[in-house]
Structure 1
């Protein structure tokens, strides 16, 4: 047996014995059970309180647009934006945004999200804020393409206007009709 083969056999023997010791014996079945390795898998959405979604269902009309300066009231250039939220299933809703091209003041076209995820947070005073993720959050979306719905039934729609670069977003504030 060569010197290299001795090292290979020793390494193999140590690997096998380490594997045997890492397992545990089930005394009732007299079988060896491999150790359970738990790994936390990150979820794309924050934890939710699962508050009822009924309060956010409805039709909303744009009140103002804000990018880097003071808010500008709608209608802007004779146009406005509207938003409809309908129940889908569980903690999801359908969101329709009706918007014609209006420069930076709208998303530029009608949009439909069939299964937007709703995350609710209940504060100590009992008020609930809803976060509606129109698309799954990513580390590069900077919080845009999300609806923030407050207890006074005001929505902030954070989006990136046509022509803007990543993370150069704006906000349209809606009120419930």
Structure 2
């Protein structure tokens, strides 16, 4: 099949978003959790977390336009802190339900079996059921003029990983953790096999 740019514009809305969200490939499945200054918590599924550097350790994620209230965005800007928590196979359904649009005063933690977990006086909650979780400090927001979305950059201040998942060289075995990935908007998968190659140098 061939879709021209004009063809894409003319597609049915649901067909189009399914198509375009699928073609970028498998995406990371994470829960981003926040808490407002008034102690209201929020947790939501995101598939756009990307590594932006190791020194300092920076991750970014994309938020849709704030033409409507975005509780995750509001809480991050208000407090400067949030957490990123890997979704694993056991919590996929509850994690996906956090995409439902609840009002600000209703916490998704209360509408799922996901539990808040607080560590070392960090302001935002972690997701207890996650095996890999990161405390994040907000660094920068970048407005993407092309479509009105916002790139949020944050620094990892705290990293918690189940001991059995880290290999001697620092590699984190996401398959052992049964970390999920997202295909499109609503299809989850758990990788089962990988091939680890050595660092490459010119021949």
Shorter-chain TM-score bucket reads under 0.3
**Larger relative contact order (Cα-Cα within 8 Å, sequence gap ≥ 6):** 2
Q: Name the one with the larger strand percent.
A: 1
Q: Normalised by the size of structure 1, how large is the TM-score?
A: 0.28
Q: Normalised by the size of structure 2, how large is the TM-score?
A: 0.25
